[in-house]
């Protein structure tokens, strides 16, 4: 059966003019400096709240566009860069993340409906399907790979073709903003995942509220994200590596220093493990255990929450 390709190109092209020029302008300046005011910035209502874009302060309405510019720029080199920057460790974290969720039908149960938000090039979605099939003998569980950026999803589609998933109805790709998840009905999802995506979202509480809305009661929220290194000597080395080596790698491998500078700044800005666990709780989820599990001394962490059965 033909795969469901629901990339709504109109949505992304409609969004582009909002963000294209301000980001390019910002790239000419160091991250500590403010970019010159642009037409788009001038049009922002004066009362609009500010937010972070890496270490820059920008109006909320501009952030999603700037983030989209970053990921459009890195889309074709994203997988190679991930391996280079993390020495392949991101694969181990993602394997562990998926294994810990054990996706797929339990004996006698129904296939699962999984939503992978900020799914990018499909790293988590493919692992979910592989696990469901190989561990739970389930070829019916399906994954929606949703992302705000059509360029990232197109890379995912290419991989789905190579891996033989495009000829099944088990994966679909959709342009969606994590803050709204417009096309996803209430109480329709068994498992919501977001991997290395939440820190890029402008209004994280809105994304958590959307996750809560789309999950069925009893459904699971799971987030894999960079976090705060818990071992002081390792943190010193890690900060040196992040701010000196990663932007340089971005320049040499992907020809794009600024995007990788943003990525390391956005990691630094993300809340602590405890703070984010509290945000998950405030969104209406029951934390699993203390709410998070650190990987590699806190370089990354996994947060999990369950939507209570008595939720609407
Ligand atoms: C670092 S990549 C992670 C991709 C993939 N989940 C992985 O683990 O390899 C971050 C992704 O978040 C997406 N993203 C950023 N803001 C988003 C938003 N508001 N809604 C949905 N996706 C978003 C980006 O387009 C990008 O594909």
> If you write DSSP's letter for every residue of the chain in order, what string do you get?
---EEE--HHHHHHHHHHHHHHHHHHHTS-TTSPPPP-HHHHHS-TTPPEEEETTEEEEHHHHHHHHHHHHHHHGGGHHHHHHHHHTTHHHHHHHHHHHHH--SPPTTSPPPEEEEET-TTSHHHHHHHHHHHHHH--S--EEEEEES-HHHHHHHHHHHHHTT-TTSSSEEEEE--TTT-TTSPTT-EEEEEEES-GGG-S-HHHHHHHHHHHEEEEEEEEEEEE---SSHHHHHHHHHIIIIIHHHHIIIIIS-HHHHHHHHHHHHHSPPHHHHHHHHHHTTPEEEEEEEEEEGGGTEEEEEEE--TT--
Assign 5 a pLDDT band (cuts: 50, 70, 90).
Answer: very low
**Which segments are annotated as binding site?**
121, 147, 177-178, 195
Annotated binding-site ranges for S-adenosyl-L-methionine: 121, 147, 177-178, 195
Instruction: Supply φ then ψ for residue 127, to 5 degrees.
Output: -65, -40
Q: Quick one: average pLDDT of 195-224?
A: 97
Report whether pLDDT(193) > 90. yes
Q: What is the mean pLDDT of residues 262-279?
A: 94
Mean local confidence (pLDDT), 13-30: 27
pLDDT above 50 for 25: no
Lowest mean pLDDT among 22-26, 106-110, 186-190: 22-26
Q: In sequence order, which residues have a C-beta less than 8 Å from that of residue 262 and are 6 or more positions away? A: 31, 53, 54, 66, 70
- pLDDT, one tens digit per residue, over 222-244 is 999 999 999 999 999 999 998 98
What pLDDT does 209 receive? 98
Ligand 1 contact, 266 CB (< 6 A)? no
Which of 89, 94, 118, 192 gets mutated to test ligand 1 (max ligand atoms within 8 A of its CB)? 118
Q: Determine which of 3-17, 54-68, 265-279 has the lowest per-residue pLDDT on average.
A: 3-17
Residue 125 CB less than 6 A away from ligand 1: no
pLDDT score for 190: 97
d(CA 262, CA 69): 11
Contacts of 34 (CB under 8 A, 6+ apart): 56, 57
As a whole number, the mean pLDDT across the chain is: 85
Whole-number Å distance between alpha carbons of 191 and 125: 12
Q: What is the pLDDT of residue 85?
A: 83
200 Cβ below 6 A of ligand 1: yes
Highest mean pLDDT among 13-27, 58-72, 96-110, 198-212: 198-212
Q: Is the pLDDT of residue 40 over 70?
A: no
CA 106 from chain center: how many Å? 27
Give percent of the chain above pLDDT 70: 85
Q: Does the Cβ of 81 fall within 6 Å of ligand 1? A: no
Which of 55-59, 255-259, 272-276 is most confident?
272-276
User: Per-residue pLDDT for 18 more than 70?
Assistant: no
- Ligand 1 site-directed mutation target among 61, 80, 200, most atoms within 8 Å of CB: 200
Q: Please report the pLDDT score of residue 45 as a whole number.
A: 57
> Among the listed ranges 97-101, 113-117, 172-176, 248-252, which one has the minimum average pLDDT value?
248-252
Q: Which of 269, 267, 271 is nearest to 52 (CA)?
A: 269
Residue 27 has pLDDT above 80, yes or no: no
More confident residue, 112 or 3: 112
Cα–Cα distance for residue pair 22/256, rounded to 1 Å: 16
Looking at the chain, the whole-number percentage of residues with pLDDT higher than 90 is 61
- The pTM (predicted TM-score) of the whole model is 0.84
**How far apart (Å, rounded) are the C-alpha atoms in residues 285 and 299?**
24
Residue 81 gets the label, from left (phi > 0), alpha (psi -120 to 50) or beta, of alpha
């Amino acid at each position: 059966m033909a795969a469901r390709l629901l990339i709504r190109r109109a949505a992304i092209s409609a969004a582009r003019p909002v963000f294209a020029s301000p980001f390019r302008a910002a790239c000419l300046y160091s991250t500590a400096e403010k970019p010159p005011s642009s037409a788009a910035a001038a049009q922002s209502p004066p009362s609009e709240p500010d937010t972070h874009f890496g270490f820059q302060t920008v109006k909320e309405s501009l952030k999603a566009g700037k983030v989209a510019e970053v990921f459009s720029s890195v889309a074709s080199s994203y997988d190679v860069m991930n391996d280079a920057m993390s020495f392949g460790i991101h694969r181990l974290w993602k394997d562990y993340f998926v294994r810990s969720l054990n996706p797929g039908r339990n004996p006698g149960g129904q296939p699962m409906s999984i939503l992978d938000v900020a799914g990018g090039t499909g790293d988590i979605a493919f692992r979910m399907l592989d696990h469901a099939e190989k561990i739970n003998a389930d070829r019916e569980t399906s994954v929606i790979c949703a992302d705000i950026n059509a360029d990232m999803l197109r890379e995912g589609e290419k991989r789905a073709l190579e891996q033989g998933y495009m000829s099944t109805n088990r994966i679909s790709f959709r342009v969606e903003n994590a803050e709204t998840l417009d096309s996803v009905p209430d109480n329709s999802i068994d498992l919501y995942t977001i991997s290395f995506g939440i820190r890029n979202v402008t209004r994280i509480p809105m994304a958590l509220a959307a996750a809560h809305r789309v999950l069925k009661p009893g459904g699971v929220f799971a987030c894999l994200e960079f976090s705060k290194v818990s071992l002081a000597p390792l943190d010193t080395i890690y900060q040196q590596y992040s701010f000196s080596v990663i932007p340089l790698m971005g320049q040499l491998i992907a020809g794009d220093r600024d995007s990788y500078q943003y990525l390391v700044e956005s990691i630094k800005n993300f809340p602590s493990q405890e703070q984010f666990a509290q945000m998950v709780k405030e969104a209406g989820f029951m934390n699993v255990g203390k709410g998070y599990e650190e990987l590699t001394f806190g370089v990354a962490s996994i947060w999990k929450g369950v939507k209570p059965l008595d939720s609407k």
